[in-house]
């Protein structure tokens, strides 16, 4: 099994952020009315949280504008408490998506493919 680079993990984060943006198409309220969209957004957030768990702590600490602990915890909540997930939980996460996106883009710029 090959180890993935930091850059590859960051690409995974970025890909899932872009996926969420495409799923909601500038209308976060759709997660409340469309089951497929809600499931797709939840899955993307599960991946985002899983990837965050695989990134070096030192890297995450260098970008404190994102609450990485909350992102990791949100992944666990979504994966293990499916019956307690509320639309508000997802909408709150979507409110933070622009900051996460800009941060991940900065991280990608600072961590080129050879890292």
- Catalytically annotated residues: 75, 80
Q: Is the Cα torsion angle 87, 88, 91, 93 positive or negative in sign?
A: negative
Dist. CA 34–CA 102, nearest whole Å: 27
Residues ≥6 apart with Cβ < 8 Å to 61 = none
Residues ≥6 apart with Cβ < 8 Å to 40 = 19, 23
Provide the angle, in degrees to the nearest 10, between the axes of the packed helices 68-80 and 35-54.
130
Dist. CA 5–CA 7, nearest whole Å: 5
């Amino acid at each position: 099994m090959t180890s993935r680079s930091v850059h590859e993990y960051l690409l995974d984060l970025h890909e899932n952020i872009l996926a969420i943006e495409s799923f909601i198409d500038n209308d976060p309220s759709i997660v409340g009315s469309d089951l497929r969209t809600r499931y797709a957004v939840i899955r993307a957030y599960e991946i985002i949280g899983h990837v965050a768990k695989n990134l070096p702590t030192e890297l995450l600490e260098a970008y404190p504008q994102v609450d990485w602990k909350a992102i990791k915890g949100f992944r666990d909540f979504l994966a293990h408490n499916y019956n307690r997930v509320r639309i508000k939980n997802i909408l709150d996460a979507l409110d933070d998506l622009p900051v996460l996106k800009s941060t991940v883009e900065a991280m990608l710029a600072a961590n080129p493919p050879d890292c």
